[in-house]
Amino acid sequence: MNLNRSQLRVFQLVAKHGELSNSSISSQLALSPSLVSRYLTRLVQLGFLERSWPNVRLSPNPFAHTLTSLLLADSTLADVLADRGITVLATIMEYEGEEVDIRKLSQEMSISPPQLYIYLRRFLSRGILSKHRGRLTFNRTLWNALYEFLQAYQRYYVLTVFAPPPGAKLYRQGANGVLFSSFSRVAGASLTGFSLFPDYGIQLLENERFYRLPKQKVTPPQALLDALRIAGSPGEESARRRLYCYLFYRERIKHVRSVRHPDLETLKKIANGSLPRQAHFPTAEEIQEKAKEYDIRL
């Protein structure tokens, strides 16, 4: 998803004119034809431009037109989005509503914490992000068009780069991978979430299999976090699934203490009796009963 400053300059120029030749771009930006050719190949691969031999033109993809409007309105935005900017913003959007651990975020994106802080300061200074109690929030009041661009581009990127199977139900999609379910086995993907719970003694009936792409080693904390995201998916909130998330948490507590998710905090409070019943969450009695069944100490 990354575009460097020169690639964004090429995109801006083509977007401004609608259609240009390689030689014209090379002349106007004082870049070598071979370098321009590589940049154009990258922009076509990522869906921002398309070939119209011997020229290139703006892609019909809606996200390309949204980015055009943003850059024409504020050319300095290219400096904000350059290099890893798009990926960092898109990844932070995935964690909206969750507490952000900078160390884990940097690991997920293979970027050092000091480099990540540079991007965060850039976004915070422009008012694109705001930070409150450890949570980073996208400022949609000021930057709604940028938010919509990132959402649309994420969807395109996930479907073209990670290519989940037809009919898959997407629970989470972003620059670093996709979390989805399928009723059939998917080669080349990693089981996660509830599909890994039986490996740790938590048996539950699920017709779907839950996966992550690209293929990776899924640790117990990642499996729990993915399960919480599935159980709390908008429109599919499940008290039963959240109950099993809490059982898995208690069963593997030494290994998953680092997991931070608002639904897990709610489950903890329900289990210790400090929070009354919540919609789409199990009751304290249901948690205790199921824990006894699995011989899990609360």
Residue 285 is assigned to a structural domain of this protein: yes
128-178 pLDDT tens trace: 998 877 678 899 999 999 999 999 998 888 888 888 898 999 998 877 789
- Does 287 lie in the same domain as 169? yes
Q: Answer with the one of 78, 93, 122 that is the final residue of a domain.
A: 78
Three-class DSSP labels, 30-81: CCCHHHHHHHHHHHHHCCCEEEECCEEEECCCHHHHHHHHHHHHCCCHHHHH
| The total number of structural domains that make up the chain | 3
- Does 253 lie in the same domain as 225? yes
- Does 23 lie in the same domain as 115? no
pLDDT surpasses 80 at 226: yes
- Does 116 lie in the same domain as 149? yes
Nearest to 211 by CA among 260, 267, 263, 167: 167
Strand partners, 131: 136
Handedness of CA 265, 266, 269, 272 (dihedral sign): negative
CA distances from 257 to 31, 242, 262 (A): 52, 17, 14
Residue 158 is assigned to a structural domain of this protein: no
- Does 249 lie in the same domain as 182? yes
The residue assigned the tokens 């789409």 is: 280
Residue 277 is assigned to a structural domain of this protein: yes
Cβ(80)–Cβ(68) below 8 Å: no
- Does 69 lie in the same domain as 100? no
- Does 48 lie in the same domain as 105? no
233-274 pLDDT tens trace: 999 999 999 999 999 999 999 999 988 888 999 999 999 999
- Does 94 lie in the same domain as 60? no
Q: Print the domain residue range for 248.
A: 163-293
**Over the chain, what is the mean pLDDT?**
91
- Does 257 lie in the same domain as 167? yes
Handedness of CA 264, 265, 266, 271 (dihedral sign): positive
- CB-CB neighbours of 8 under 10 Å: 24
Residue 184 is assigned to a structural domain of this protein: yes
Phi-psi region of 77 (alpha: psi -120 to 50; beta: other; left: phi over 0): alpha
The residue-averaged pLDDT of 215-244 equals 94
CATH number for the domain including 64? 1.10.10.10
Q: Answer with the one of 61, 78, 95 that is the final residue of a domain.
A: 78
The residue-averaged pLDDT of 41-70 equals 94
Q: Answer with the one of 40, 61, 78 that is the final residue of a domain.
A: 78
Which amino acid is residue 123, in one-letter code?
A: F
